[in-house]
A and B are shown apart, each in its own frame.
Chain A
Amino acid sequence: MRSHDETMMLQTPFHSRVAKACELNQWDEWKGYTTPAAYTEVEQEYFAVRNSTGVFDLSPMTKYRITGADAELYLNKVMTRDVRKINPDRVGYTIWCNDAGQVMDDGTLFNFGENNYRLCSYTRVMDWLQWSAMGFDVEIIDETADFGALAVQGPTSCAVLKAMGFKGIEKLKPFGMSHFPFEDAEVMISRTGFTGDLGYELWVEPPKAITLWDRLFDAGSNLGIRAIGGNALEMVRIEAGFLQAGVDFVPAEETVRVGRSRSPFELGLGWLVDFDKGVFNGRQALLKEKREGSRYAFVFLDVEGNKPAEHSFILKGNKEIGTVTSAAWCPTAKSNIAFAQIESKYANSGENLTAEIYYQTELKWTRLLAKCRVIDSPVFSSPKRRQTPAPDF
Chain B
Amino acid sequence: MTNARYDVVIVGAGHNGLICAAYLAKAGRKVLVLERNEQVGGAAVTHEFSDGFRVSSCAQWLYQFNPNIRAELKLDQYGYELAAENLSTIALSADSNHLTLSSAELNGASVTESDKKAYQLFIKKMLKFSGILAKASERRIPKLLEGDWGDRFALFKLGLDMKLLGKEDMQDLLRIALINIYDVLQENFDNDLLKAALSLDATLGTHMGPRSPNTVFSFLHRRLGEVFGFNGVSVVKGGMSTLSQALANAATANGVEIKTAMPVSRINSTADQVTGVTLANDEVIEASTVVSNADPKTTFKSLLGFPKLETGIIRRVSNIRMQGNVAKLHLALDSLPQFDGLDENQSGQRLIIVSTMDAMERAFNSAKYGEYSPQPVMDISIPTLHDKTLAPEGKHVLSALVQYAPYKLTQDWGSVKENYAQLLVERIGKFAPGIEDQILSRELLTPVDLEREFHLTGGHWHHGEISLDQIMMTRPFPGATQYAMPLTGLYLCGAGAHPGGGVMGLAGKNSAQEILRSNRSKTNLAGKKENVA
Interface residues of A (CB under 8 A from B): 70, 73-74, 77-78, 98-100, 128, 131-132, 134-136, 278-284, 287
B307 touches A135 (CB 8 A): yes
**Could you tell me the distance between the alpha carbons of A136 and B486 in the complex, rounded to whole angstroms?**
20
B314 touches A132 (CB 8 A): yes
A284 touches B315 (CB 8 A): no
A135 touches B301 (CB 8 A): yes
B314 touches A279 (CB 8 A): no
> Could you tell me the dominant secondary structure of chain B's interface residues?
helix
With an 8 A cutoff between CB atoms, is B309 at the interface? yes
Residues of chain A lying within 8 A (CB to CB) of residue B479: 99
Beta-carbon nearest neighbor of A279 in chain B = B271
B310 touches A284 (CB 8 A): yes
A136 touches B307 (CB 8 A): yes
Interface residues of B (CB under 8 A from A): 270-272, 301, 305-315, 318, 479, 486
A279 touches B311 (CB 8 A): no
**When A283-B271, A284-B486, A287-B272 are in contact, do A131 and B311 touch as well, CB less than 8 Å?**
yes
**Could you tell me the distance between the alpha carbons of A131 and B479 in the complex, rounded to whole angstroms?**
18
**When A135-B301, A284-B486 are in contact, do A99 and B271 touch as well, CB less than 8 Å?**
no
Beta-carbon nearest neighbor of B314 in chain A = A134
Residues of chain A lying within 8 A (CB to CB) of residue B318: 131, 134
Residues of chain B lying within 8 A (CB to CB) of residue A281: 310-312
**Could you tell me the distance between the alpha carbons of A159 and B32 in the complex, rounded to whole angstroms?**
71
Residues of chain B lying within 8 A (CB to CB) of residue A287: 272
Q: Which of A70, A132, A278, A284 contacts B311 (CB 8 A)?
A: A132
- Kindly name the residue among A73, A74, A99 whose own CB sees the greatest number of chain B CB atoms within 10 A: A99
B308 touches A279 (CB 8 A): yes
**Could you tell me the distance between the alpha carbons of A364 and B479 in the complex, rounded to whole angstroms?**
51
Given contacts A135-B307, A278-B270, A279-B308, list 5 more A-B pairs with CB under 8 A: A98-B311, A128-B311, A132-B314, A134-B318, A282-B310
29 chain-A/chain-B pairs, Cβ below 8 angstroms: A73-B307, A74-B307, A77-B307, A77-B311, A98-B311, A99-B312, A99-B313, A99-B479, A100-B312, A128-B311, A131-B311, A131-B314, A131-B315, A132-B311, A132-B314, A134-B306, A135-B301, A135-B305, A135-B306, A136-B306, A279-B271, A279-B308, A279-B309, A280-B310, A281-B310, A281-B311, A281-B312, A282-B310, A283-B310
A261 to chain B, nearest CB (A): 13
**Could you tell me the distance between the alpha carbons of A136 and B311 in the complex, rounded to whole angstroms?**
12
Residues of chain B lying within 8 A (CB to CB) of residue A279: 271, 307-310
Beta-carbon nearest neighbor of B479 in chain A = A99
B196 to chain A, nearest CB (A): 41
- Kindly name the residue among A77, A78, A135, A287 whose own CB sees the greatest number of chain B CB atoms within 10 A: A135
**Could you tell me the distance between the alpha carbons of A99 and B301 in the complex, rounded to whole angstroms?**
17
**Could you tell me the distance between the alpha carbons of A281 and B270 in the complex, rounded to whole angstroms?**
15
**Could you tell me the distance between the alpha carbons of A70 and B306 in the complex, rounded to whole angstroms?**
13
Beta-carbon nearest neighbor of B312 in chain A = A99
Residues of chain A lying within 8 A (CB to CB) of residue B307: 70, 73-74, 77, 135-136, 279
B306 touches A99 (CB 8 A): no
A286 to chain B, nearest CB (A): 11
Residues of chain B lying within 8 A (CB to CB) of residue A283: 271-272, 310
Beta-carbon nearest neighbor of A98 in chain B = B312
A99 touches B272 (CB 8 A): no
